[in-house]
Chains A and B, each alone.
Chain A
Amino acid sequence: SQELEQSPQSLIVQEGKNLTINCTSSKTLYGLYWYKQKYGEGLIFLMMLQKGGEEKSHEKITAKLDEKKQQSSLHITASQPSHAGIYLCGADTTNAGKSTFGDGTTLTVKP
């Protein structure tokens, strides 16, 4: 079974709207990462969260980690077409750095 579940699988929003993507782990998290990927390209590092309750922001993107629930959320405020892409959560489920990934959330932002 999938260790990291992302929801929703895909999302279409109007430009300017806010949105949230969720990531839930079935195992203990040693670190939670968010990446963005354009189709067929490499992953662009967005943020890393390590401690329960930790929240980080970069421009209009905010990520939070709920360690007890083994969940993370990624929130985009006032979405823009440049936010479109595939958002992947990844996690270290061992303390030796082996990372697993969710299957991604495809975000489309309509102008």
Chain B
Amino acid sequence: DAGVTQSPTHLIKTRGQQVTLRCSPKSGHDTVSWYQQALGQGPQFIFQYYEEEERQRGNFPDRFSGHQFPNYSSELNVNALLLGDSALYLCASSLRQTKYFGPGTRLTVL
């Protein structure tokens, strides 16, 4: 079992650009959640996908959008990047309650 995988591991973008991050859930997991973790802070919930629908959303602007595919994998898209979007982006998958996290994508916005 490969666990939760994320790509890419690192990414550098400039302000105003758009970025797409990818997540493959743990085998058998149907729910994917995305989190943003700034340095020195805990992860902040962005949104959760289940059955290809956004089920819950945290306090993030519409620049943050996502998608879940029929195979349960997911993408996080961020438009019009700001310097403040620099963070570790974590994906977590779950079947029932317990969430298992991927290694994260480190996004740097210059």
Contact = CB atoms under 8 A, between A and B. Distances in A.
Nearest to A94: B56
- Residue of A35, A43, A48, A101 with highest tally of chain B CB at under 10 A: A43
Contacts of A101: 35, 42-44
Interface in B1-46: 4, 6, 31, 33, 35, 40-45
Contact of B99 (A50, A99, A102, A104): A99
B88 A40 contact: yes
Contacts of B97: 31, 48, 50, 92, 97
Interface residues of A, number: 25
Per CB-CB distance, the 5 closest pairs between chain A and chain B, nearest first, are A101-B42, A43-B101, A42-B103, A42-B101, A103-B42
Interface of B: 4, 6, 31, 33, 35, 40-45, 48, 55-56, 58, 88, 90, 92, 94, 97-104, 106
